[in-house]
């Protein structure tokens, strides 16, 4: 006898990347930031009066919400703080898509999206990306024809690292009849010279939601803190109706403020990751591994024919040597690995192991 709802019984659930217990493992598999968070985080934790944990936290994380709004030159009414970016996705799905209605996503992209759609019993429409990892030009038309209520696009895109420009997204939101959620989990790593900033569009478009997270750019994946920016009529139903009561605990509210206070630490961190990305990309290219240009903290790397192992075999081989990277078993990704940019030392160790691997015979293929 099963007490689960039928759709829950049939679904598989989210497959997260491995989180090993051995601290010496080189973890390049879940796109965490390799550098520590700002020292202000440790200071804030140390000075926290734990007696304040006796009472519930501020229900809407108001000071942090205002601080985030200031950062983006928006009003607090344009922001909802969420328990990780993932809660923002869940809120959008449960607030804007009825069971049986269409939820669309680019394929491939974040593997949590289909899971959330299954929970909500939304019908999933996958939009295959073009070879340049961008959506087809007639995306809005296709989405409207299908009666899509919500579309999620990761920008810069995961797992390719490709950046779609602001004009293109603005046009899509303008032409599309449903809600566009642009998942900017990796936006902090975009080269500032690209001049990418989608946030101002929130003021003009009533169907645009932008997701941000502290997990990547602020090195706080363990904290679970993110937010959505959008027009007030999009934010309000999530803030007042569908979110968990007290969704942001007191510690997260405190540490979120501390992280935003130290913007120069964050800026330096992002530049370090960009520099590491450029060096890792060129080292991989020199070894003959084609690398997709990336505006994120990871690289999508094709495993070339001269490598003695195919992509899945190479992932296992690296794992046996203490280096975790991600392989996705899907048609367009099965010959590639997604590799998070690590510290300089970690990246060098990866390159060394790859050099050794290439020097072995081609028997395994």
Ligand X SMILES: Cc1ncc(COP(=O)(O)O)c(C=O)c1O
Q: Note the residues at the interface with ligand X (CB under 6 A).
A: 31, 84-86, 110, 154, 158, 183, 185, 213, 215, 221, 226
Q: How far apart are CA 321 and CA 316, in angstroms?
A: 9
| Cβ closest to ligand X, residue 84 vs residue 114 | 84
- Smallest distance from the beta carbon of 110 to ligand X, in angstroms? 4
Give the phi and the psi of residue 112 in degrees, each rounded to 5. -75, -30
Q: How far apart are CA 339 and CA 349, in angstroms?
A: 13
Give the phi and the psi of residue 344 in degrees, each rounded to 5. -55, -45
| Sequence-separated (6 or more) residues with CB below 8 Å from residue 183 | 85, 89, 109, 110, 152, 153, 154, 155, 211
| Cβ closest to ligand X, residue 78 vs residue 213 | 213
Structure tokens at 304: 């070339």
Classified as helix, coil or strand, 176 is: coil
Q: How far apart are CA 15 and CA 37, in angstroms?
A: 26
Q: How far apart are CA 136 and CA 142, in angstroms?
A: 9
For residue 221, the tally of other CB atoms under 10 A from its CB is 17
Q: What angle do CA 334, 157, 31 make, to 5 degrees?
A: 75
| Sequence-separated (6 or more) residues with CB below 8 Å from residue 359 | none
- Smallest distance from the beta carbon of 248 to ligand X, in angstroms? 12
For residue 12, the tally of other CB atoms under 10 A from its CB is 8
DSSP H stretches of helix in the chain: 6-10, 39-46, 62-71, 84-96, 112-120, 139-146, 166-175, 232-237, 250-261, 263-286, 311-320, 344-359
Q: How far apart are CA 296 and CA 33, in angstroms?
A: 11
- Smallest distance from the beta carbon of 182 to ligand X, in angstroms? 10
- Smallest distance from the beta carbon of 212 to ligand X, in angstroms? 8
| Cβ closest to ligand X, residue 340 vs residue 357 | 340
| Cβ closest to ligand X, residue 110 vs residue 189 | 110
- Smallest distance from the beta carbon of 157 to ligand X, in angstroms? 9
| Cβ closest to ligand X, residue 158 vs residue 353 | 158
- Smallest distance from the beta carbon of 185 to ligand X, in angstroms? 4
- Smallest distance from the beta carbon of 221 to ligand X, in angstroms? 5
| Cβ closest to ligand X, residue 162 vs residue 357 | 162
| Cβ closest to ligand X, residue 76 vs residue 181 | 181
- Are 303 and 287 a contacting pair, CB within 8 Å? no
- Smallest distance from the beta carbon of 84 to ligand X, in angstroms? 3
- Smallest distance from the beta carbon of 215 to ligand X, in angstroms? 3
| Cβ closest to ligand X, residue 90 vs residue 349 | 90
| Sequence-separated (6 or more) residues with CB below 8 Å from residue 337 | 300, 301, 303, 311, 314, 315, 325, 326, 327
| Cβ closest to ligand X, residue 60 vs residue 213 | 213
């Amino acid at each position: 006898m099963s007490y689960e709802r039928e759709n829950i019984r049939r679904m598989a659930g989210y497959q997260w990347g491995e989180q090993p217990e051995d601290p010496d493992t080189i973890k390049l598999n879940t796109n965490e930031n390799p550098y520590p968070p700002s020292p202000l985080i440790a200071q804030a934790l140390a000075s926290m009066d734990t007696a304040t944990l006796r009472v519930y936290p501020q229900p809407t994380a108001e000071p942090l919400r205002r601080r985030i709004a200031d950062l983006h030159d928006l009003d607090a009414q344009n922001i909802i703080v969420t328990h990780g970016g993932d809660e923002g996705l869940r809120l959008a799905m449960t607030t804007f898509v009825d069971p049986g209605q269409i939820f669309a996503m680019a394929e491939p992209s974040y593997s949590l999206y289909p899971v959330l759609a299954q929970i909500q019993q939304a019908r999933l429409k996958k939009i295959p990306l073009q070879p340049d990892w961008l959506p087809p030009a007639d995306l809005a038309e296709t989405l409207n024809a299908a009666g899509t209520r919500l579309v999620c696009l990761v920008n810069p895109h995961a797992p390719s690292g490709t950046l779609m420009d602001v004009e293109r997204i603005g046009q899509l939101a303008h032409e599309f009849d449903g809600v566009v959620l642009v998942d900017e989990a990796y936006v902090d790593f975009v080269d500032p010279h690209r001049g990418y900033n989608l946030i101002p569009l929130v003021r003009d478009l009533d169907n645009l939601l932008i997701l941000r997270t502290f997990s990547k750019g602020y090195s706080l994946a363990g904290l679970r803190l993110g937010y959505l920016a959008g027009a007030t009529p999009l934010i309000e139903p999530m803030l007042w109706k569908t979110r968990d009561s007290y969704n942001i605990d007191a510690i997260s509210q405190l540490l979120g403020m501390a992280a935003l206070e130290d913007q120069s630490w964050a800026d330096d961190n992002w530049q370090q990751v960009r520099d590491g990305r450029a060096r890792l990309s060129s080292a991989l290219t020199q070894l003959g591994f084609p690398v997709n240009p990336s505006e994120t903290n990871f690289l999508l790397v094709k495993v070339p024919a001269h490598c003695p192992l195919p992509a899945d075999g190479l992932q296992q081989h690296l794992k046996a040597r203490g280096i975790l990277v991600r392989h996705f078993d899907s048609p367009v990704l099965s010959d590639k690995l997604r590799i998070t940019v690590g510290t300089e030392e970690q990246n060098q160790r990866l390159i060394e192991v790859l050099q050794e691997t290439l020097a072995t015979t081609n028997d395994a293929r």
